């Protein structure tokens, strides 16, 4: 006489459908919160990078003026721009040694979070009448 054995290998179709339905419900609950978290994370990273760039520019100005004298001789503006072609310094001070100092101090990846019209980031350095500098960052907000 033959012995009948039951081989239950695998899952039934109903079991698979139930598992897929549970996973779909979990994804529907988690996905909106995850996308909101990722969006705020990118904004926080942009703000941190922006603050770091401004802080580094302040340090670069101090280092430059210690060695070379005034970055901007009288009231005026210098602009540092990072783009797909690299960084550039323009305005009242276009001293190449300042550009080299900035390039060495700032990691270019920190300027690339928002690529607006080929310009990643821009920092305006305005010398005030009292000799202090006002630094304004753009494109990383």
Q: How far apart are CA 101 and CA 96, in angstroms?
A: 9
Residue 21 lies in a domain: no
Residue 68 lies in a domain: yes
Q: Kindly state the average pLDDT of the residues 132-139.
A: 81
The CA-CA-CA angle for residues 20, 26, 29, to 5°, reads 145
Residues spanned by the domain of 53: 49-138
Residue 105 lies in a domain: yes
- By DSSP bridging, strand 119-127 and strand 86-91 are unpaired
Residue 14 lies in a domain: no
65-107 confidence digits (pLDDT tens): 888 888 877 777 888 887 777 677 776 665 678 788 888 888 7
Higher pLDDT, 11 or 18: 18
The CA-CA-CA angle for residues 107, 110, 115, to 5°, reads 125
């Amino acid at each position: 006489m033959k012995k009948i054995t039951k081989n239950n290998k695998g899952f039934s179709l109903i079991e698979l459908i139930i598992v897929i339905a549970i996973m779909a419900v979990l994804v529907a609950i988690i996905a909106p919160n995850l996308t909101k978290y990722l969006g705020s994370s990118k904004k926080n990273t942009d703000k941190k990078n922006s603050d770091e760039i401004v802080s580094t520019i302040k340090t670069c100005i101090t280092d430059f003026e210690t060695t070379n004298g005034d970055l901007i001789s009288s009231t005026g503006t210098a602009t540092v721009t990072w783009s797909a072609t690299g960084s550039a310094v323009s305005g009242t001070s276009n001293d190449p040694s300042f550009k080299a100092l900035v390039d060495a101090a700032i990691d270019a990846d920190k300027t690339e979070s928002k690529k607006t019209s080929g310009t990643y980031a821009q920092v305006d350095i305005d010398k005030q009448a009292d000799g202090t500098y006002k630094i304004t960052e753009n494109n990383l907000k």
